[in-house]
Amino acid sequence: MQRTVVAIDGPAGAGKTTVARALAARLGFTCLPSGTFYRALGWRALEAGTPLDDEAALAQLADATEIAISVEADGRCVARVDGRDVSDELGSSAVGEAASRASVFPEVRRRMVELQRRFAEDRPVVAEGRDMATVVFADAEHKFYLDATVEERARRRARDLRARGEAPDERRLANAIAARDRRDSSREAAPLRLAEGAVRVDTTGLSVEEVVERLLRAIRSRPESV
C-alpha cells in the first residue's frame, strides 16, 4: 500500500491520541504518536539529569539516544530508549513536563522530526501531535485540528492520571494546560497552529466515536486518496 498520511494536530488534552488510535484502526493504518518520541527523550533527560533549559545539552542527548517506537497489533505503543522498554514510565506528569520543555528547542525538534518521518516511510499512518500537518507531514492528504475547552482537557487529563494512581488537582492541571498552550503556540520552532486546509473539530462534549465519525466523513469525501 502506498504511503498515505492523515495528520492530526491540536493542544494537549484535545483527544488526539485516543482519536488517532481509533481512526487508524478503522482505516487499517498505523498510528504515529509523535508525543511519545518527545516523552521518551524527556524520560531520558530526567534519568541523565540533563538540564531542561539547556538546548545544546538536550540536542546532544537527542542525537546520542536511540529511540525506537513501535505499535503492536492491539494498538499498544511500545517505546524503547537505548534498548530499554520504558513504555509504562512515560505517562507521568514529570515526564510530560520534561517533554514539553525540551520540545521548544529547534535542534531537539529536528531530531524528532527525522525519527517521525522515518517511522512513516513505508506505511500509511495517522500521525498525531502539534506540528504534524504544519511541518512533519506538511504534504499530508488529510489534515485535522482537534480542540476542546481548557476545562474539558483538564478533566480528561485528571481522569488519565487517576487511572495511573495519581491524585491530580484539576484547577492546577487547567493552569498547566493553559501555560502549555501559550508555550506551544509561541515557540520559535514549529508553533502550534491550524494548518492551511485543516478541518477543525471541537471535541468538547463529543465521544471518541463521534469525533472519529466526523473525521472519517471528511476523509471519505476524497476516496481516491485512501
Mean pLDDT (the chain, rounded) = 91
Overall average pLDDT of the 107-126 stretch = 93
Answer yes or no: is 226 within a domain. no
Answer yes or no: is 156 within a domain. yes
Q: Which of 95, 42, 41, 50 shows the shortest CA–CA distance to 68?
A: 41
Task: State yes or no: pLDDT of 223 exceeds 60.
Answer: no
- pLDDT at position 73, please? 72
For residue 60, give the C-alpha cell: 546532544
- pLDDT at position 209, please? 96
Distance CA 177, CA 157 (A): 9
What φ, ψ does residue 44 adopt, rounded to 5°? Answer: -65, -40
Q: Residue 51 is part of a domain; what is its CATH number?
A: 3.40.50.300
Overall average pLDDT of the 115-132 stretch = 93
Answer yes or no: is 60 within a domain. yes
Residue 188 CB burial class (10 angstroms; 0-12, 13-18, ≥19): exposed
- pLDDT at position 217, please? 95
Between 49 and 33, where is the model more confident? 49
The 10s digit of each residue's pLDDT in 142-174 is: 999 999 999 999 999 898 888 888 888 899 999
Answer yes or no: is 136 within a domain. yes
Is there a contact between 174 and 39 (Cβ–Cβ < 8 Å)? no
Answer yes or no: is 190 within a domain. yes
- pLDDT at position 117, please? 94
Between 162 and 215, where is the model more confident? 215
Q: What is the radius of gyration, based on Cα positions, of the chain?
A: 17
For residue 36, give the C-alpha cell: 511519545
Answer yes or no: is 204 within a domain. yes
- List the single range of 21-35, 40-54, 129-143, 185-199 with lowest mean pLDDT: 185-199
Answer yes or no: is 225 within a domain. no
The 10s digit of each residue's pLDDT in 37-91 is: 999 999 999 999 999 999 999 999 999 999 999 888 777 889 999 999 999 999 8
For residue 74, give the C-alpha cell: 492491539
Domain count for the chain = 1
For residue 203, give the C-alpha cell: 471535541
Task: State yes or no: pLDDT of 137 exceeds 60.
Answer: yes
Q: Which of 24, 179, 155 shows the shortest CA–CA distance to 96?
A: 179
Residue labelled with grid coordinates 537527542: 62
- pLDDT at position 1, please? 41
**Residues ≥6 apart with Cβ < 8 Å to 196:** none
Answer yes or no: is 27 within a domain. yes
Sheet of strand 5-9, all strands in order from the earlier edge strand to the far edge = 30-33, 125-129, 5-9, 142-147, 199-202
Domain that holds residue 186: 5-220
Task: State yes or no: pLDDT of 201 exceeds 60.
Answer: yes
Q: What share of the chain is helix, strand, coil (3-state, %, to 5)?
A: 50, 15, 35
Where does the pLDDT of residue 16 fall: very low under 50, low under 70, confident under 90, or very high at 90 and above? very high
Is there a contact between 67 and 79 (Cβ–Cβ < 8 Å)? yes
**Residues ≥6 apart with Cβ < 8 Å to 178:** 150
Q: At what angle do helices 150-163 and 170-186 cross, to 10 degrees?
A: 120
